[in-house]
C-alpha cells in the first residue's frame, strides 16, 4: 500500500480535507491498477487501516468484505474492498515479520550479552534453550553435548520436557536425528520422527521420544571450528514444517551456545591455570619457609653439638623450629610398631596425631624423637625431624663412648659384689654413690640371656655384646649396675615401691628384647637389701636368679621374665631363702585368716577332704558332720581360693601348703 493511499485513507478516516465526492483519487484501479475516479478505493482502505492499527487477527480482515456483500454494495465497491484486504494482509504480514525479526535480534542480542558476562555456563545454555523454544513457538527445546570419552552425546539442558527417560537419553553417533546431526555436522529436520527413515532408530531413543510425545524435530549442530560439540533441538508434539528462517535462527542460537561453551572452557582453563599458579606460589612460599626453618635447625643443632648439648637440648631446639612439642623417649615408651617401621624405613612415621623418628645406630634402637599433636607435617619438616634424630643418635653414640668407661666401672663394682665378699662396705657404698647407685635401697638381681643362638661364634659374641650394651644402658638409666657373666648378663636394679620382682623381670625382658631385636629371657631373685653391708647376698641372689632363668627356659617361656614367686611350690626349690611362710600365705593364707577371724574350721575340713581322696561322703564321716556341712565349707573355700583350687596343679600346691602349715603350727606349739 502506497504512502498516498495511506494518507488518503487517514484523511477519509479523520474527515480532514475535501469531501469524498469532490476528492480526486489517484490510487490504482482495483484489478487493473488505475485509480477510481470516485474515491472508492480510499473509502475501501479505511476499515483495514483501522484493523492494522489495533493489530486484529487475520480472520477479522474478512469482515468488511462480507458486510459489503450482505448490504448489496456495488461490484466495484466489493472489488475495492477485496483489493484493500489483500494489501492490508501483505502489510500485516510484513509488520509481523519485522516484529518477529526484531524479537529474534533482541533475543540474540540478549544471549550475546549473557555470553559477554558469562559466569554460569548452565544458566547461559538454559537461557539459549528457553529463548529458542519461545521464538520458534515449539513445545520442547533441548541441547545435547558430545562425550568424547564415551563416544556419544548426552542431554545437557531441556526446556518444556516432561518425561524423565527423555531427559536422561544418551545418543550414539549416527543414532536418531541428533546422532545424525552430530555425525554429519549439518542441520536436519523431520516432520514426523517415527516415519522418517533417514536416520537409524533405536529402541532406547524411540522410547524416550515416544514418552515425550514428540513428532516434528529440528536439530542444528554446535560447532567449534570444524568440530561438532553438541546439537541444539526444537521439537513439537504435532506434525510441523520448520521454515528456512527458523532453521537459520536456531543455527544462530547454536553458534552462541557453542561460543558460550568455548568461553566457559577457556574460563575454566584460565581459572584452573590461575589456581595451579596460586598453589605453586603457595608451595614455593611454604618450601622457602621450610628451607629457612631447616637451615635454622641445622645451625642450632651444629651449635648444640659444638657446645656439648644433650638429646633433650636437641628436642627443645626442634620443638621451637617445628612449632610443636618434640620429646626424646626410650624404646619402651614409644609405640612399638611405629618405632620399628621408622627404624626399618629410615624415615619418620605417623602414629595417630604424632610423628615418630627412630633414633638408631648400627641396627640398635636407642630411643625415639616424638613430635606430638602435629598431624599435618610438611615433607621438609619431616626431613628436619629425621635430621634431628640422626644428630641425636650421634650424640648418644658420643655419650656411649664416654659412658663405656663408666659402664666398665659399674661392671667392676657388680663383679666385686659378686666375687669379693670381704670388701670394705664403706668403699663399696662410696663407689656406688659415684655411679648414682644406692646400695642401701632394696634391689633385685636379674640374670638375662639371649634365646636365639648365633649362626657362628662371631655372631654370637656380637649378640652378647649388644645385650651387655643394652643392659648397661638400662642399668645406667635406672641407677643400677650391670655386668657380663656366664654367657649372659647380670643386672642389679632397684625395686620401685609397690612393684614385685616378677614385674621387674618381665619389664626387663621386654626392654632388653626391644633394644636388641631378639627374645631375651630374664630370671629374677627375691628382693634383697643392705647390699653394702652384706655383699654376700648379691651372689646368693644371683644364684637364685639363674635358677629362675633356667626354669623359665625349661618351661618353654623363652623371651619372658619371672621370679621364684611365679612358680608356686617350685619356687620353694628355686628361692635362695626357702620362703616357706610366704608360700603358705600365698597359697592358703585367705583360708587361715578366715578361720582366725570367724572361729571356723575350714583348714581341718580341707585336710580331711584331701585325706579322704577328695570324697565329700567319706569326709563327713571323718569329721562326724552332715554331708551338707562339708559341701558348704568347701563352697566357702572355693570363694576364698578361687574356682580352680581343685585343679591338679592347684590341689597339689594346696596340699603342700596344708602340710607346711601344720608343721609350722606344731613347731610353734
* pLDDT score, position 457: 76
Dist. CA 369–CA 619, nearest whole Å = 66
More confident residue, 117 or 502: 502
Q: Tell me the C-alpha distance between 470 and 464, whole Å.
A: 10
Q: Which residue has the higher pLDDT, 331 or 8?
A: 331
300 neighbors 317 (Cβ within 8 angstroms): yes
- Region of residue 225 (left: phi > 0; alpha: psi -120 to 50; beta: else): left
287 in Cβ contact with 380 (< 8 Å): yes
Distance between CA 339 and CA 367 in Å, rounded? 9
Arithmetic mean of pLDDT, 542-569: 74
- The mean-pLDDT minimum among 483-492, 630-639, 657-666 falls in 657-666
When pLDDT is cut at 50, 70 and 90, the band that residue 12 belongs to is very low
Are 514 and 559 a contacting pair, CB within 8 Å?
no
> Rounded mean pLDDT of 77-106?
75
Mean pLDDT of 8-19: 38
Question: Residue 140 and residue 128: Cα distance in Å, rounded?
Answer: 13
Supply the pLDDT for residue 407.
57
**pLDDT for the residue 421:** 61
**Is the model's pLDDT at 479 over the cut of 80?**
yes
Q: What is the mean predicted confidence (pLDDT) over 6-32?
A: 38
The grid cell for 364 is 640398635
pLDDT at residue 595 tops 80: yes
Residue 406 has pLDDT above 60, yes or no: no
pLDDT of residue 238: 93
Collapse the DSSP code of 391 into the 3-class scheme (helix H, G, I; strand E, B; otherwise coil) and give the result.
helix
CB-CB contact of 425 with 508 (8 Å): no
The closest of 350, 363, 367 to 314, measured between CA atoms, is 367
Residue 458: what pLDDT?
Answer: 76
* Cβ 526 vs Cβ 538: under 8 Å: no
What is the phi/psi pair of residue 481, to 5°? -130, 155
Spatial CA neighbour of 354 closest among 379, 328, 374, 339: 374
The long-range contacts involving 330-333, CB below 8 angstroms and separated by at least 24 positions, are: 330/367, 330/477, 330/511, 331/365, 331/366, 331/367, 331/368, 331/511, 331/514, 331/515, 332/507, 332/510, 332/511, 332/514, 333/368
265-291 pLDDT per residue, tens? 787 788 888 888 888 888 777 777 767
pLDDT in tens, 430-439: 787 787 788 8
Residue 140 has pLDDT above 90, yes or no: yes
> What φ, ψ does residue 535 adopt, rounded to 5°?
-60, -20
Q: Is the pLDDT of residue 159 over 90?
A: yes
Residues sharing a CB contact under 8 Å with residue 236, sequence separation 6 or more, in sequence order: 138, 139, 140, 214, 215, 216, 217
pLDDT score at 36: 44
Contact between residue 105 and residue 253 where contact means Cβ atoms under 8 Å apart: no
pLDDT at 662: 77
Residues 6+ apart with CB under 8 A from 350: 338, 356, 375, 377
Which has more pLDDT, 325 or 99?
A: 325
pLDDT digits 0-9 by tens, 26-39: 344 344 444 444 45
Residues 13 and 49 sit within 8 Å (Cβ to Cβ): yes
pLDDT band at 158 (very low <50, low <70, confident <90, very high): very high
Q: By percentage, how much of the chain surpasses pLDDT 70?
A: 81
Which pLDDT band holds residue 320 (cuts at 50, 70, 90)?
confident
| Cα 552 to Cα 513: distance, rounded to the nearest angstrom | 16
Q: Sign of the C-alpha dihedral, residues 127, 128, 130, 135?
A: positive
**What average pLDDT does range 582-603 have in this prediction?**
84
Which pLDDT score is estimated for 234? 92
- The CA–CA distances, whole Å, from 489 to 43, 466, 522, 534, 548 equal 135, 10, 9, 22, 14
For residue 134, what are the contacts with CB-CB under 8 A and spacing of at least 6? 107
Higher pLDDT, 230 or 397: 230
Decide which of 422 and 511 is more confident.
511
User: Is the pLDDT reported for residue 463 higher than 70?
Assistant: yes
Amino acid at each position: 500500500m502506497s504512502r498516498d493511499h495511506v494518507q488518503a485513507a487517514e484523511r477519509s478516516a479523520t474527515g480532514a480535507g475535501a469531501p469524498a465526492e469532490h476528492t480526486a483519487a489517484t490510487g490504482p484501479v482495483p484489478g487493473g491498477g488505475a485509480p477510481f475516479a470516485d474515491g472508492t478505493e480510499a473509502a475501501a482502505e479505511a476499515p483495514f487501516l483501522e484493523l492494522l492499527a489495533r493489530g486484529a487477527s487475520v480472520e477479522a480482515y474478512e469482515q468488511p468484505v462480507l458486510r459489503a456483500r450482505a448490504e448489496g454494495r456495488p461490484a466495484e465497491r466489493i472489488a475495492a474492498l477485496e483489493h484493500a484486504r489483500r494489501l492490508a494482509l501483505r502489510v500485516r504480514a510484513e509488520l509481523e515479520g519485522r516484529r518477529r525479526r526484531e524479537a529474534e535480534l533482541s533475543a540474540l542480542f540478549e544471549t550475546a550479552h549473557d555470553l559477554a558476562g558469562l559466569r554460569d555456563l548452565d544458566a547461559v545454555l538454559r537461557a539459549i534453550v528457553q529463548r529458542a523454544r519461545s521464538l520458534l513457538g515449539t513445545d520442547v527445546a533441548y541441547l545435547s553435548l558430545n562425550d568424547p570419552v564415551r563416544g556419544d552425546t548426552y542431554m545437557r539442558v531441556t526446556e518444556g520436557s516432561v518425561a524423565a527417560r527423555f531427559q536422561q537419553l544418551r545418543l550414539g553417533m549416527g543414532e536418531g536425528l541428533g546422532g545424525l546431526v552430530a555425525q554429519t555436522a549439518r542441520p536436519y529436520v523431520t516432520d514426523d520422527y517415527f516415519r522418517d527413515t533417514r536416520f537409524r532408530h533405536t529402541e532406547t531413543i524411540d522410547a524416550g521420544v515416544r514418552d515425550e510425545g514428540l513428532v516434528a524435530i529440528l536439530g542444528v549442530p554446535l560447532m567449534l571450528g570444524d568440530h561438532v560439540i553438541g546439537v541444539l533441538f526444537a521439537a513439537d508434539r504435532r506434525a510441523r514444517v520448520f521454515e528456512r528462517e527458523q532453521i537459520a535462527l536456531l543455527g544462530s542460537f547454536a553458534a552462541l551456545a557453542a561460543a558460550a561453551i568455548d568461553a566457559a572452557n577457556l574460563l575454566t582453563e584460565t581459572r584452573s591455570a590461575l589456581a595451579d599458579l596460586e598453589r605453586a606460589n603457595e608451595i614455593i612460599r611454604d618450601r622457602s619457609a621450610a628451607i629457612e626453618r631447616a637451615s635454622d635447625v641445622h645451625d642450632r643443632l651444629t651449635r648444640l653439638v659444638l657446645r656439648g648439648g644433650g638429646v633433650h637440648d636437641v628436642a627443645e631446639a626442634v620443638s621451637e623450629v617445628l612449632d610443636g612439642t618434640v620429646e626424646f623417649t626410650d624404646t619402651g615408651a614409644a609405640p612399638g610398631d611405629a618405632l620399628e617401621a621408622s627404624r626399618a624405613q629410615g624415615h619418620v612415621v605417623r602414629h595417630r596425631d604424632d610423628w615418630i623418628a627412630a633414633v638408631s645406630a648400627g641396627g640398635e634402637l636407642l630411643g625415639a624423637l616424638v613430635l606430638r599433636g602435629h598431624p599435618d607435617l610438611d615433607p621438609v619438616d619431616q626431613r628436619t625431624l629425621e635430621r634431628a634424630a640422626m644428630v641425636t643418635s650421634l650424640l648418644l653414640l658420643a655419650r656411649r663412648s664416654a659412658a663405656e668407661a663408666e659402664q666398665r666401672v659399674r661392671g667392676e663394682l657388680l663383679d666385686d659384689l659378686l666375687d669379693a665378699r670381704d670388701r670394705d662396705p664403706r668403699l663399696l657404698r662410696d663407689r656406688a654413690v659415684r655411679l648414682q647407685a644406692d646400695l642401701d635401697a632394696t634391689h633385685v638381681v636379674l640374670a638375662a640371656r639371649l634365646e636365639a643362638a648365633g649362626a657362628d661364634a662371631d655372631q654370637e659374641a656380637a649378640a652378647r655384646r649388644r645385650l651387655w650394651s643394652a643392659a648397661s644402658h638400662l642399668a645406667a638409666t635406672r641407677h643400677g649396675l650391670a655386668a657380663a657373666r656366664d654367657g649372659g648378663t647380670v643386672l642389679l636394679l632397684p625395686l620401685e615401691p609397690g612393684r614385685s620382682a616378677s614385674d621387674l623381670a618381665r619389664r626387663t625382658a621386654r626392654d632388653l628384647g626391644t633394644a636388641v631385636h631378639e627374645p631375651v629371657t630374664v630370671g629374677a631373685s627375691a628382693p634383697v637389701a643392705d647390699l653394702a653391708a652384706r655383699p654376700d647376698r648379691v651372689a646368693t641372689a644371683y644364684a637364685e636368679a639363674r635358677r629362675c632363668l633356667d626354669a623359665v627356659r625349661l618351661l618353654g617361656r623363652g623371651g619372658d621374665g619371672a621370679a621364684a614367686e611365679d612358680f608356686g611350690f617350685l619356687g620353694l626349690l628355686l628361692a635362695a631363702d626357702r620362703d616357706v611362710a610366704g608360700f603358705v600365705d600365698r597359697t592358703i593364707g585367705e583360708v587361715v585368716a578366715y578361720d582366725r577371724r570367724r572361729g571356723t574350721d575350714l583348714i581341718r575340713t580341707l585336710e580331711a577332704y584331701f585325706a579322704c581322696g577328695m570324697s565329700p561322703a567319706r569326709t563327713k564321716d571323718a569329721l562326724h558332720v552332715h554331708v551338707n556341712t562339708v559341701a558348704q565349707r568347701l563352697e566357702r573355700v572355693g570363694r576364698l581360693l578361687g574356682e580352680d583350687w581343685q585343679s591338679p596343679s592347684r590341689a597339689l600346691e594346696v596340699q603342700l601348703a596344708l602340710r607346711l602349715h601344720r608343721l609350722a603350727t606344731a613347731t610353734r606349739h
